[in-house]
Structure 1
């Protein structure tokens, strides 16, 4: 591995076997060395392979600014997340989370802490991601003696939800969370019941709504269903179909999106399951 560029004492740029640019991190890795020399592989702690040149440059710039101990903690959080979340994470998580952790530390040092208005929803809808957020807060407390509030765990969790959805924008994740919350409220009011938030069907409904909302916001369509099948679902589960229609009306009113019949059918089936035992 040959050094292409020394970014700072701990970060260098190189290329892998396929000729793709990589960012290599290790304490003292860039100290006293120059481009063209071999990388001391004994000092290598982490190799970053991003999807695009732009992302590689963004990460390099960020790592040049952030103290290495904060980068190391971020990497440890992401490594832990990979043992909790089964979905492959968007590699931009290394950029977004590093930047967030660095900013959170700076805010704490200035005695500035923000409330996360979606903290309650995040804990309910994304328990795995929230668990990662709690682990992150614990690591920051242990390593850097920070006493961060619960809202910070929720904010960190949102970055992982975003990385799972591959949306690339935290704003979209916030929208998706609101769509899930409002859709659940519609279901509860329609049937005048409380849902069992510990049930598998509840988790399936939340997951369905998460990816439905992502498809809606990204303009992605599901496969077409047979018209006879759609009519059968509508006739067999009229009350559940009516509830799905209320959600579709809310979606159209708030986002101007006309929910396709196929999406209504899938939504009807998930509603039927989540309220079946009530």
Structure 2
């Protein structure tokens, strides 16, 4: 079978999605979406497209995702995916990691609804804006940049609440999780931070490296708890040593675990409890709350 990308550097168009987007196939026969300025203008299925005109290839691993993205592109203006792509590529550079491919769909769809709400005068307040700003500062800064990009392309300024919502989409793509989990994940992080601060009787220094590491740990901890995927059990002897040596921090982790079980109806296994103890200890040492040596 001849590869859809020919030897002389062209793609064969399967479907035209819009003036800047077409559907093709890669060398394995997987459907892909190609982006490029005007590549779909006055084109039809079967036409050949020079590879040099392609600016971006969306090779989504899940065929269902590819279908959903193509369906979405038929329902929303193509510049929304351009905006999303710019935001996502900027986020990947800033964060230094690849984001889940599903974010191309979820973020584009969100931008579409956000713009529609603004044009209809419908307000949608973000009840977790404070938590997003404080727990996900890098992602929130990217959300603010996203508002600038949208304004420069569409001439519309979305409210600050939307910077928070877009930050959640980016965090979700980092975790490669379900967007529906992001609100409870953020609430769980808030509960753990508040509980720990009350336990130690302090306000954590949010600018410290140890606090940042603590929140990052909580992001992935919350994701594991909501998905039922837990950290593996470690060495029992080492865990007992931690429980004795970091007794106050271990007591805090135990209390937090019980609080999570009661408030969120989630399992909180001992393996997670010990990892949390280590992070709590690092934080308490950095704030001068513990005299124990690392």
**5+ residue gaps, structure 1:** none
Task: Give the one of 268, 272, 278 matched to 2:281.
Answer: 272
Q: Paired residues, what number? A: 277
Q: CA deviation at 1:192?
A: 1.0
- Residues 11 and 64 of structure 1 are in contact (CA less than 8 Å); yes or no, is this contact kept in structure 2? no
Question: Which stretch has the larger CA shift, 120-129 or 31-40?
Answer: 31-40
83, 86, 91: which one aligns with 1:81: 91
Return the offset for 1:43.
4.0
Q: Is the 8 A contact 2:115 2:158 kept in 1?
A: no
Structure 2 gap segments, 5+ residues each: 1-10, 289-294
For residues 41 and 87 of structure 1, do their structure 2 counterparts lie closer, same or farther at Cα, with a shift above 3 Å needed?
closer
Q: Map 1:31-46; keep pairs closer than 5 Å.
A: 31-46=41-56
Structure 2 SS opposite 1:39 = strand
Select the residue among 143, 152, 156 that pairs with 1:133. 143
Distance in 1 (CA, whole Å) between partners of 2:35 and 2:236 is 56
- Match of 2:24? 14
Query: Which residue number corresponds to residue 154 of structure 1?
Result: 164
Q: Which of 98, 104, 118 pairs up with 2:108?
A: 98
Q: Over the residues paired in the alignment, what is the CA RMSD in angstroms?
A: 1.6
Larger mean CA deviation between 254-263 and 123-132 belongs to 254-263
Give the 4+ runs in structure 1 shifted more than 3 A: 40-43
| Residue 31 of structure 1, CA deviation | 2.9
Counterpart among 142, 154, 158 of residue 144 in structure 1: 154
Partner of 1:247: 256
1:261 pairs with 258, 270, 278, which one?
Answer: 270
- State the 1:222 CA deviation: 1.7
Deviation of 1:170 (Å): 1.4
Aligned equivalents of 1:8, 1:264: Cα separation in 2: 51
Moved more, 5-14 or 15-24: 5-14
Aligned to 2:229: 220
Q: Deviations over 1:139-162 (max 9, x none)?
A: 122232222221110111100001
SS state of the match for residue 180, structure 2?
helix
Whether the 8 Å contact between 1:129 and 1:161 is mirrored in structure 2 is yes
CA distance in 2, matches of 1:224, 1:43: 52
SS of aligned partner of 1:163: helix
Deviation, 1:34, is 2.3
Q: CA deviation at 1:252?
A: 1.0
